[in-house]
Amino acid sequence: MRLKVNLSALPCLVPMPASVTAMRESLKIACVGEAMIELSLDPAGSNAKLGFAGDVLNTAIYLRRALAPDHQVDFVSAVGSDALSERMLAFIESEGVSTKNVRRHGHRLPGLYAISNDAGGERSFSYWRENSAARLLFQLDGTVSFDVLERYDVIYLSAITLAILPPDVRMGLIAWIAEFRKRGGRFAFDSNFRPRLWEDRKAARDSVSAAWAVCDIGLPSVDDEMALFGDADESAALARLRSYGIGEAVVKRGARGPIALYSDGFSQPAFAPVPKVVDTTAAGDSFNGAFMAARLQGASFEEAMAAGHECASQVIRYRGAILPR
């Protein structure tokens, strides 16, 4: 079965399938992570375009573009008090994502990264983020508090979010999310694995496993999962993911397209590869945003997979993480 989504609108303003009905009440969604200054290098590596991005921020923007306007998407983070931080916040707000719960730090700055691409569009990154303000998220005056997340219906974050936090804050956040779910909240997670961000592989495995164990909407990439856990093959990775009891999950597999983690009573759609890939930056992040928007607004799992795949297919045809409107 091949599903199609009408994408005649602006880039990644993905129209929801016709089966989607209006939600009875609006949702408040918190996307928790790090926003960074992005330098996108030209093919010669001699010039760079300035932008703002970050895995969770990318997802927040594509989620906001695909949601009905009565739903609320907030970015939760920490930035500096410098001019580039202010430009970053203005950019986020211009996309309709609220920054009311982004804390300004008086002495630290945002992280920075540069993107370069090979001939096939695959990207490589150089980072300067060790002392970014976002590493102090949830920490103020020697105390740790997650109260800023209290009034949301859905919380989304990634393993990159977890990796930049100190171990005690990281595990405290996961424990807080477990209680949040008992009160009716929902938790969405992507296990983006960046080895250099973690103190060691065991800490990464323990943290990601703990996050999967409290997850309602799982958005893993099979490559990240296999790299982190050393699964023998894709089938082993899928079997391990099922063992966590994730509420529902779709596994991203690059050019092969996504696959549902649970197949009972489910007809797996077929997805055509993109003929010309320019830049794979934010492919998974954009998929996450469009997929979640569809599911949270009542689309079927198949329709949500198609929406996510189509959005990601647009993003990788252009340079940079965020498609201009």
| Active centre residues (catalytic) | 285
Residues ≥6 apart with Cβ < 8 Å to 281: 40, 53, 115, 123, 315, 316, 319, 320, 321
65-83: burial string, b at 16+ Cβ within 10 Å, e else: bbbeeebbbbbbbbbbeee
């979640």: which residue's tokens?
292
Which residues, 6+ apart, have CB-to-CB distance to 111 below 8 Å? 34, 36, 37, 127, 128, 129, 132, 134
- Give, in degrees to the nearest 5, the angle at Cα 320 between 91 and 255: 130
Whether residue 307 contacts residue 291, with contact meaning beta carbons closer than 8 Å, is answered with yes
